[in-house]
Structure 1
Amino acid sequence: MMAQYLEIKAQYSDALLFYRMGDFYEMFFDDAVAAAEALDIALTKRGKHQGEDIPMCGVPVHAAEGYLLTLIRKGFRVAVGEQMESPAEAKKRGAKSVVRRDVVRLVTPGTLTEDSLLEARSHNFLGAYSELRKEAAIAWADISTGAFHVMPIKPVRLSPELARLAPSELVVSDLVPDTIRVMADEYRIPLTPIGKSSFDSSASEKRLCDLFKISTLEAFGTFSRAEISAMGALVDYLDITQKGKLPLLQPPEQEAENRVVQIDSATRRNLELTRSLAGGRAGSLLSTIDRTVTPAGARLLEQRLSSPSRHLDTIHERLAALDVVHNDTLLSEQIRDALRRTPDLDRALSRLSLDRGGPRDLAAIRNALGQAELISGVLQDKDMPDLLKKSSQDLQGFDELLALLDAALVSEPPLLARDGGFIAAGYDGELDEARTLRDEGRSVIASLQQEYSERTGISSLKIKHNNVLGYFIETTATHAEKMRSAPLSETFVHRQTTANQVRFTTVELSELETRILNAGNLALEIEKKLYLALSTAILGDSGRLTAASKGLAELDLVTALGDLAKSEGWTRPRIDDSRAFHVSGGRHPVVEHALRRQNGEPFVANDCDLSAQDGAAIWLLTGPNMAGKSTFLRQNALIALLGQMGSYVPAYEAHIGLISQLFSRVGASDDLARGRSTFMVEMVETAAILNQADDRALVILDEIGRGTATYDGLSIAWATLEHLHQMNRCRALFATHYHELAQLANTLEGVENATVSVKEWEGEVIFLHEVRKGAADRSYGVQVAQLAGLPDCVVSRARQVLDMLEESSREGGGRIQVDDLPLFAAAPSPQTSMTKVASEVDSMLKDVHPDDLSPREALDLLYKLKEAARS
């Protein structure tokens, strides 16, 4: 057995080997040590190898999925080795023969299909990147849904595409450059190098043609050699990991590099599109706007949000569909009610294609088709735009398949086919008979006993059973002679005589006995055959089923966005090919939702106008921290993104000229793992914007240059703003505390000053969160520090130093020297604090008469005085 284990393990040295032994998957040697630590399970030992104990651990087969998920999340790959025959079959080769085992599947992050291992509302993409000469391409597929895409890209665009797709695993050539490894490490994408032969474009073309059973790939489009290489490598990797059982992939969908808005990883992180800065889904834009009721609809929403369109016709088509459901609330609710009862058709279909499905997947497809038929009926005879019309048509034409599944399946089938009981009564006569014998064997025997009693005229005749004879007919010795005589002797065969009884059998009883004993196994075998037939019927219609799933997802998304727009008061944006960007009464959807949930406060809406016929349009935004500058920057970026996704937007009115790129430099953090300071991270992200932004880009920058010395930071911010205006010529929001930049509005056409309003009241600052034209006169940093809870002495000292610095600046004295600023020891702030304590003590002692105090009262007073001094 260990020889067999070592032989299999040698073929999968880079993976943990789950070695099937009965009801457990066992691991040995280093695999056992690593798995025991990762899974927090007991590490034992079994036998010896070369004189050393063999470490061993194991997990139950029935609970393996949970352990697999833990290992995958911790970066392991798992080879699942199953028993390929029963022990009885192995013994036929010899009493000492070992049960034959082999790896049936290599489990990796990008090849998961089980619901328990996947997030139902997110895609699980496996990617493959290829570079051939001066061409490059990336292919990606979700084998749990069958989605398959490819796109030619420039190597410099790989980073934003990986940020957009967020693949669970990326397949590359084993000669991949270090830059790709660094990039994958930065995005925490497991990198899987495979042989260069997998990327050979000629072999890849043949591999793809064989997979889709076509003679040429031109049936799906015109692909470059790099695209063919990437797709072929992905399919070859699936063939390796799935051991020849390839998933049901859809024909490859070719995407253009300029089809979607380019959004780099820093911008996605800063805007918290699908994940919050804390790392989870909660608090992100996606979690705030997600009203979908099906997993497929949720996955489509995430895809659209990550990839806003740059194609004007596509955007208008989506908005036209949204108009219909937004205006017809009854229609929308009817569709959503049906969708709530619709299972995940895509993933059920994928599991069946990989032979990992079960009766519940058959039922999921039946139930999904039933709801599709219902939704199609609701939409019938409606005047609809093309998107809704196509979705409705894709739901039709499944009457025959639906009738088959309805007739064949029970309403609530079991999880596993081997459990049986999922085929409905009356569907198959042979199965019904086997079940009757299995479940009603006694009643069948009783009926036969009654028949024999009537035929012989012996009322005391009985049919009995024991472990030696099986079923037999028993009668008294008196009646036995009658049964031994013709014509009864031709039917009843003597088997045994006891002291008082004589036992007989018949051919019919022997056959019935065999059928009863085998009825349970026979019923299971019949159900397995029927399961296979139903699966084959479903997979034979997989193309139309995939289209139906897309139609259901599209309807879910459009009705969810309609429900969101209706309940939140969002409006239809005007999207065109101009360079306009005018938002009236814009709001930040996430912040607005959080305010309403926490304390019911309304969100202060603001306008933004970055429209430009030619050249740049930039707002230079000043104002104190905590006043809402960052929120204003982000909300306008999100409004543009939502509009081009095909959604209504949180504003009273919005006119958006198509945006090609979205860049955000907001917030500050260091990158210790890569040796980058906060300022270095800021400069790297700013450099990426200035080097890539075109005249159709929307750029939001917050506090450029704040991570270094004041004059260095001011000069960098100044030069950055000039570059955006003169070289990038884009639309931008530029927030800063360097008030000196405000004068650029007088010299650069298209640059305007804006500020966030505040109000001072009795030494405190009140944030109004209103954006208006003009420049701020100060930053109110000391007031914000006071609100944050800095000690009074620190706030007082800060005011004193600020007054001296401002006075020096007004008098033109240049930079103030350190010697001009008295140290803390000379400051009056601590005295102020002591005075406050002294006044409290005076008030407490004013009416105290020591002669009148008892010892207890004096002690209590002392405690109160001590507490006053401490506070």
Structure 2
Amino acid sequence: MESLVNHYFERMDINDSLTSVYDLERLVARVSLGNVNGRDLIQLKTSLQQIPGLVQAIAAIDEPDVWQAVIDKLEAYPEVIELIERAITDNPPIQITEGNIIRDGYDEQLDRYRDAMNNGKLWIAMLQKEEREKTGIKTLKIGYNRIFGYYIEVTKANLAALPEGTYERKQTLANAERFVTPALKEKETLILEAEEKSVELEHELFVALREEIKGYSRQLQALAKLVAEIDVLQSFAHVSEAYHFSKPELSNSDRNLSIKEGRHPVVERVIGKDKFVPNSISMNEDNHILLITGPNMSGKSTYMRQVALIVILAQMGCFVPAEKAHLPIFDQIFTRIGAADDLYSGQSTFMVEMVETNQALRFATDKSLILFDEIGRGTATYDGMALAEAILRYIDRTIKGKTLFSTHYHELTQLEADLAGTKNVHVGAIEKDGELVFLHKLMQGPADKSYGLHVAKLAGMPHELIAEAQVILNSLNEQHVLHAGTGIPVPDDTVEQLALFQENAMQPNEKHILDELSDLALEDCTPMQAMLMIDGWKKLLKSQKSR
């Protein structure tokens, strides 16, 4: 691929040759399956005719140690080209049973049939002229219908002018008689047989031709695969040069991941290179987890995706959108990014999230790349936070694969002090004149604020709603202990997550009933005693409600 990047003009010649190559793999597959038609064969011939020019363009690169093995395998199969050229017309129909698919001169019998069809009418006109001259009957005519075929029609007034023994009566009309002659019968048989059998013969000839070309299936499949690889490589080279990609360093001996000024190739194309903010990443052998914090819309997901895309492009053999990249070779990439309910199987967003996360945790290795985006956000705050922390600890302890983990749980950033393989980074944002400005730049350390209300404001929510949310947020902050030096609210130890049943809200009668129920020896109760006890409990509850 690097060779193609460095040889622009030769690459353009390769591209020109490939422009006229059809989908060879599809064509060869149709040949192998025996359902190719005439147009497919013309496309196959056209594609094969480009191979010599492709070989010449590659040879012009003059790097035999890189390309000689490829050149040696690029065979045009001139015998296939010659066979299709000799047999198939330039513009055959799609259907192989309609005729007009085999070229004139390919088969002698087919040529006779075609001559009969093309020249039959001329011969009939000449015969009519001859019969008129021979009999002197100027009104004599030769006609045709589907029931009787070709016939000579003579009016009854001229019947006496016909010579004896030559004409055989075929049909009698009110004012005329219709006859046939041995010469007319012979020509009729030839014309009708030609029309009927020429299409049948063409089909037989085409099927035989198709089977002959089918014998080259294996060689043509190998050629199609090689041409496809060349096409991919020259496409990679074009993209790499046009969008300023760089050659990555791939290593299977270390697990260092380093990307300098990496870019998301799709987002960059959509918003423009001048607006896209590149970002770097550096994870050494011991750094397994990159914990990414920052406000919504700041670019956390884009950053994670661009790392994965750079890895994929590099392992495909393409240059990458970065100034410089040193990458380990990954065996798998696991992602959990975005939210989606699986309605057909009855799975919620959170269930889908857990299933996909479990796939990564079960099958990832220390050579895998794992991307987790806001794991745990689909359930209660403490449940989600507990799961997220446990997942991070499991990855650090058991898997040790390179992991990018974005989260809004700022409490998780404290794990950097506890887990040696974890490193905090955040996507920067600043407040300017009361407005939130996204920097889209990755910075060291955790984010200091979530900026959720600012994002809601950017989304266009009503001002009074935002103001009310700010009041509520201030109230919540006052009810919690603030993390020293950061302003991040951390739940007080005395505040518990809402339970399904709250004991402190229980009335005295309810407490009495639960005590009796817990002390009840059910095995010693008769059904009648149990019913009486339940009835008594119901009355207690009703009396409580009536107060």
Deviations along 1:60-115, whole A, 9 cap, x unmatched?
A: xxxxxxxxxxxxxxxxxxxxxxxxxxxxxxxxxxxxxxxxxxxxxxxxxxxxxxxx
Separation in structure 2 between the aligned mates of residue 507 and residue 728 of structure 1, nearest angstrom: 95
**How far off is 1:601 after superposition?**
5.8
Give 1:683's match in structure 2, choosing from 348, 354, 376: 354
Separation in structure 2 between the aligned mates of residue 676 and residue 465 of structure 1, nearest angstrom: 78
Separation in structure 1 between the aligned mates of residue 32 and residue 341 of structure 2, nearest angstrom: 46
2:107 partner letter? D
Question: Quick one: higher RCO (CA 8 Å, sep 6+), 1 or 2?
Answer: 2
- Hey, what does 1:412 align to over in structure 2? 91
- Contact 2:116/2:191 (8 A) holds in 1: yes
- Hey, what does 2:368 align to over in structure 1? 697
Separation in structure 1 between the aligned mates of residue 177 and residue 339 of structure 2, nearest angstrom: 97
**How far off is 1:773 after superposition?**
1.5
Matched, 1:595 2:257: no
Separation in structure 2 between the aligned mates of residue 806 and residue 776 of structure 1, nearest angstrom: 17
Q: 1:385 to 1:756 in 2, by over 3 A?
A: farther
1:627 partner letter? S
- Hey, what does 1:809 align to over in structure 2? 481
- Contact 1:464/1:474 (8 A) holds in 2: no
**How far off is 1:500 after superposition?**
13
Q: Secondary structure of the residue that 2:378 maps to in structure 1?
A: coil
**How far off is 1:795 after superposition?**
1.5
Q: Secondary structure of the residue that 1:701 maps to in structure 2?
A: strand
Give 1:743's match in structure 2, choosing from 400, 414, 419: 414
Matches within 5 A, 1:697-716: 697-716=368-387
- Hey, what does 2:393 align to over in structure 1? 722
- Contact 1:394/1:544 (8 A) holds in 2: no
- Contact 2:32/2:217 (8 A) holds in 1: no
- Hey, what does 1:585 align to over in structure 2? 261
Matched, 1:440 2:119: yes
1:518 partner letter? E
Separation in structure 2 between the aligned mates of residue 503 and residue 675 of structure 1, nearest angstrom: 82
Normalising by the residue count of structure 1, what TM-score does the alignment of the two structures yield?
Answer: 0.50
**How far off is 1:605 after superposition?**
0.6
**How far off is 1:627 after superposition?**
0.6
Separation in structure 1 between the aligned mates of residue 52 and residue 251 of structure 2, nearest angstrom: 37
Q: 1:788 to 1:521 in 2, by over 3 A?
A: same
Q: Secondary structure of the residue that 2:425 maps to in structure 1?
A: strand
Separation in structure 2 between the aligned mates of residue 618 and residue 581 of structure 1, nearest angstrom: 12
1:556 partner letter? D
Deviations along 1:666-700, whole A, 9 cap, x unmatched?
A: 22344454444433333333333233321111112
Separation in structure 2 between the aligned mates of residue 406 and residue 469 of structure 1, nearest angstrom: 38
Matches within 5 A, 1:354-433: 354-380=33-59, 382-383=61-62, 389=68, 391-433=70-112
Q: 1:668 to 1:510 in 2, by over 3 A?
A: closer
Q: 1:542 to 1:451 in 2, by over 3 A?
A: farther
Matches within 5 A, 1:155-194: none
Give 2:405's match in structure 1, choosing from 729, 734, 739: 734
- Hey, what does 1:470 align to over in structure 2? 150
Separation in structure 1 between the aligned mates of residue 178 and residue 356 of structure 2, nearest angstrom: 95
Q: Percent identity?
A: 37
Give 1:525's match in structure 2, choosing from 200, 206, 230: 200
Separation in structure 2 between the aligned mates of residue 480 and residue 811 of structure 1, nearest angstrom: 125
Q: 1:755 to 1:434 in 2, by over 3 A?
A: same
Separation in structure 2 between the aligned mates of residue 632 and residue 760 of structure 1, nearest angstrom: 22
Give 1:557's match in structure 2, choosing from 214, 232, 240: 232
Give 1:647's match in structure 2, choosing from 315, 318, 322: 318
Separation in structure 2 between the aligned mates of residue 642 and residue 328 of structure 1, nearest angstrom: 21
Give 2:222's match in structure 1, choosing from 530, 547, 570: 547
Matched, 1:513 2:188: yes
- Contact 1:618/1:725 (8 A) holds in 2: yes
Matched, 1:608 2:299: no
2:271 partner letter? L
CA RMSD after TM alignment: 3.6
Matched, 1:629 2:300: yes
- Contact 2:169/2:180 (8 A) holds in 1: no
1:572 partner letter? K
Separation in structure 2 between the aligned mates of residue 804 and residue 400 of structure 1, nearest angstrom: 85
- Hey, what does 2:15 align to over in structure 1? 336
- Contact 1:592/1:603 (8 A) holds in 2: yes
Separation in structure 2 between the aligned mates of residue 358 and residue 469 of structure 1, nearest angstrom: 35
- Hey, what does 1:664 align to over in structure 2? 335
Matches within 5 A, 1:42-53: none
- Contact 1:616/1:730 (8 A) holds in 2: no
- Hey, what does 2:524 align to over in structure 1? none
**How far off is 1:474 after superposition?**
8.2
Matches within 5 A, 1:307-326: 322-326=1-5
2:42 partner letter? A
Separation in structure 2 between the aligned mates of residue 685 and residue 394 of structure 1, nearest angstrom: 44
Q: Secondary structure of the residue that 1:758 maps to in structure 2?
A: strand
Q: 1:728 to 1:460 in 2, by over 3 A?
A: same
- Hey, what does 1:493 align to over in structure 2? 166
- Contact 1:390/1:551 (8 A) holds in 2: no
The count of residues paired between Structure 1 and Structure 2 equals: 482
Q: Secondary structure of the residue that 2:17 maps to in structure 1?
A: helix
Separation in structure 2 between the aligned mates of residue 674 and residue 390 of structure 1, nearest angstrom: 51
Separation in structure 1 between the aligned mates of residue 370 and residue 297 of structure 2, nearest angstrom: 21
Q: Secondary structure of the residue that 1:464 maps to in structure 2?
A: strand
1:761 partner letter? K
Separation in structure 2 between the aligned mates of residue 752 and residue 411 of structure 1, nearest angstrom: 67
- Contact 1:587/1:635 (8 A) holds in 2: yes
Separation in structure 1 between the aligned mates of residue 324 and residue 238 of structure 2, nearest angstrom: 19
**How far off is 1:447 after superposition?**
5.1
Matched, 1:535 2:210: yes
Q: Secondary structure of the residue that 1:342 maps to in structure 2?
A: coil
Normalising by the residue count of structure 2, what TM-score does the alignment of the two structures yield?
Answer: 0.77
Separation in structure 2 between the aligned mates of residue 681 and residue 480 of structure 1, nearest angstrom: 96
Separation in structure 1 between the aligned mates of residue 421 and residue 326 of structure 2, nearest angstrom: 18
Separation in structure 2 between the aligned mates of residue 767 and residue 618 of structure 1, nearest angstrom: 24
Q: Secondary structure of the residue that 2:21 maps to in structure 1?
A: coil
Separation in structure 2 between the aligned mates of residue 750 and residue 385 of structure 1, nearest angstrom: 46
Segments of structure 1 that go 5 or more residues without pairing to the other structure are 1-321, 485-491, 819-871
Separation in structure 2 between the aligned mates of residue 469 and residue 575 of structure 1, nearest angstrom: 80
**How far off is 1:811 after superposition?**
9.1
1:686 partner letter? T
Q: 1:726 to 1:594 in 2, by over 3 A?
A: same
- Contact 1:696/1:731 (8 A) holds in 2: yes
Task: Look at both structures and tell me which one has the larger radius of gyration over its CA atoms.
Answer: 2
- Contact 2:135/2:162 (8 A) holds in 1: no
**How far off is 1:385 after superposition?**
6.9
2:227 partner letter? L
Separation in structure 2 between the aligned mates of residue 375 and residue 453 of structure 1, nearest angstrom: 66
**How far off is 1:493 after superposition?**
3.4
User: Which range is displaced more, 616-625 or 526-535?
Assistant: 616-625
**How far off is 1:328 after superposition?**
2.5
Separation in structure 2 between the aligned mates of residue 386 and residue 510 of structure 1, nearest angstrom: 73
